[in-house]
Amino acid sequence: MEYEPLPIISKEFSGIAIQLINQANICIDIVVYDWRFYKADPANAVSLFNQSIARACQRGVRVRCLVQNAGIVDRLKELGCDARMLQSKKILHTKLLMIDRIGIIIGSHNYTQHAFTSNHEASIYVRLENEQNGFVEYFNNLFGL
């Protein structure tokens, strides 16, 4: 990345996220409100993002995902992810993508065509100093670990 923290504005998200996913060595942890799948359009930005997640699983990176929709859980399991649905009455509105426990993208981007191509969205990438950070604890608590 050019500099850190790195602002990720609107359409930049998929390219930056895919680059980071491709560099993951150990794990990817994701918490997201909405995640879509466009099987009929494999060149779609979200499809390319989903393909990068599948490739990470295939190369042995542990990918854990927390969502709030059972249909999304099923699709993620098809990709090879360890996916769970949050069991809570509260809305899971977080959008967090964590690479190897230290690279964090957090912001407004859901994983949808509108978020990746046409919405006004803003997220940020930061690289934390070590794996002992609040985001790891936050994810583990939600994921049930």
Can you give the chain as a three-state secondary structure string? CCCCCEEEECCHHHHHHHHHHHHCCCEEEEECCCECCCCCCCCCHHHHHHHHHHHHHHCCCEEEEEECCHHHHHHHHHHCCEEEECCCCCCCCCCEEEECCCEEEEECCCECHHHHHCCCCEEEEEECCCCCCHHHHHHHHHHCC
Is the pLDDT at 145 greater than 80, yes or no?
no
Task: Read off the pTM.
Answer: 0.94
27-47 pLDDT tens trace = 999 999 999 999 999 999 999
Average pLDDT for residues 117-122, to the nearest whole number? 96
Is the pLDDT at 3 greater than 60, yes or no?
no
Domains of the chain (ranges; CATH) run: 6-143 (3.30.870.10)
52-84 pLDDT tens trace = 999 999 999 999 999 999 999 999 999 999 999
